[in-house]
Amino acid sequence: MSPLAHRRFLKMHGAGNAIVVLDLRGTGLRVTAAEAQAIGADPHSGFDQLMVVHDPVSRGTDAFMRIYNTDGSESGACGNGTRCVAYALMDDPAMARPSEGGRLTLETKAGLVAVSRVGELAFTVDMGPPRLRWDEIPLAEPFPDTRRIELQVGPIDEPVLHSPAAVSMGNPHAVFFVDRDPDSFDLGRIGPLLEAHPLFPERANISIAQVTGPDTIKLRVWERGAGLTLACGTAACATVVAASRLRMIGRAARVALSGGLLSIEWRADDHVLMTGPVYREAEGTLAPELFAGLSG
């Protein structure tokens, strides 16, 4: 039997991004790719991202987070999930521990993340600086200017999408800017083709964005390892950075995703701040049957 059987989890979402929070502090346990897939396949514990909370690794941090997609792969960042973890560590009776002034410092494999409470159910996450150099994103070949890279969908003389911006926010993003409603594109077909394009050695999140005003953007996202989602915090951050670099907006915008609004600011110190809501849906325990037959 998997040691995860009967473990308690929280089902939450941030702007529509389905999040499951699993607390493994004090256990030394790790979630395998197969276990993550099994948890995600169950309707009661299904997720876009699984946020697994571990004991702190670095001095001065409150917890270490491992982030899993539905296909069992790991991600270095998830802004919506980080807000949900912050809520759990501050408010959930079974998980909460004292936090100083409504602030936490969390850690992922991509680095440290500072979170602060700005409302009863709203948090700001400091996502750190974007990575803009081709080999940091990473891309498979050199592009001296990642504001526009050579990639297109459709016929050469009349592409459906072309010249995306490339940005990493702890995970790789390709953002296509369009002049019509992103909902009019078949991202469910385009997304999986581009996610695994040879240009992205670590795969990529694929976004279609429309700048709708001087500080507003509409966004749809195909998430690497998860598929179409109602929201993606790192994609919202990457999109604002990319739009600002192209002088389509300033350094801050409200990003409208299918699941709700996120406020993004790319500060002068190069850090990207994301502010948004969290919602607690339910709690449950992982049934032993989920893991039947798994070998790891």
Catalytic (active site) residue 232: yes
Beta bridge partners of 206: 174, 222
Is 47:39 a contact under the CB 8 Å cutoff? yes
> Cβ–Cβ contacts within 10 Å for residue 289, how many?
10
Residue 131 is classified by DSSP as B
Catalytic residue among 137, 165, 232, 240: 232
Integer Cα distance of 27 and 245 in angstroms: 44
Integer Cα distance of 285 and 12 in angstroms: 14
For 95, residues 6+ apart whose C-beta sits below 8 A from its C-beta are: 10, 21, 23, 53, 88, 89
Catalytic residue among 51, 52, 65, 78: 78
Catalytic (active site) residue 78: yes
Integer Cα distance of 168 and 200 in angstroms: 11
Residue 196, φ and ψ in degrees, nearest 5: -100, 15
Residues marked active site are found at: 78, 232
